[in-house]
Homo-oligomer: A and B are copies of this chain.
Amino acid sequence: MGNTDTKKCILDVAEKLFARQGFHATSMRMLTSEAKVNLAAINYHFGSKEELIKSVMERRILPLNKIRIERLQRIKDIASAEGHVPDIREVLLAFIEPTFAFKESGIGAQDFISLIGRAFSDPKPTVRKLFMEMVGPVFQLLFELLCDSLPSMPKNIVLLRLHFMLGAMAHPMNMSQMCQLIPNGTAIKMDSVSLTDEFVNFVTKGMEAPL
């Protein structure tokens, strides 16, 4: 089963290059030469570049979604059983923490985080659609829980703020060396725990903001 080796090698390299250069800017020849496999290997094992993109995203997103949905559902169940509204900070944490924590989960995970940001803003509708189909149910559940947590807030405002949050999440994601955005000596160096903490602080207050 050398099969497994080749496929995994391609997936790993694709994850890295897609994250760092984008989908469109990464050619089959870059991928296969970096992975040290034949040019035709991608078409043989995955069918096409498009399906490789799908495989790369699925490999990480599906397990991540499973974790997020479990945590969100648990909050929903507990709140429902105990007859109170879910805590907004807990809801946000359940969604955000697994994402950022992924960075320390294994090799290439950091690159995958960038990948999510890329999928968000990719020019090609097919890529965005692919991504949205994968994360749609999670977003839906998150949205419902946010509405529950903020019962006095109009739903369209909650949705708008959710978009703000997702953008805020995606942006640092595809900025590997985002420190030098501001021509300033100040460097940002953070482990995923601190980053999660800072981010949840930020968006919790934003979500709770009075109208």
A residues at B contact (CB < 8 Å): 20-22, 24-25, 117-118, 120-124, 132, 136, 139-140, 143, 155-157, 159-172, 174-175, 178, 181-184, 186-188, 190, 198-199, 201-211
Which of B22, B143, B186, B204 is within 8 Å of A156, CB to CB? B186
- Are A159's CB and B184's CB within 8 A? yes
One complex includes copies of this chain to the number of: 2
A interface SS class? helix
- Knowing A163-B171, A171-B164, A178-B163 are in contact, say whether A140-B206 is a contact too (CB < 8 A): no
**From A122, A123, A140, A159, residue with most partner B Cβ within 10 Å:** A123
- Please, which residue of chain B has its CB at the minimum distance from the CB of A165? B168
Q: List B contacts of A206 (CB < 8 A).
A: 201-203, 205-206
Rounded to whole angstroms, the CA-CA distance of A202 and B183 in the bound complex is: 26
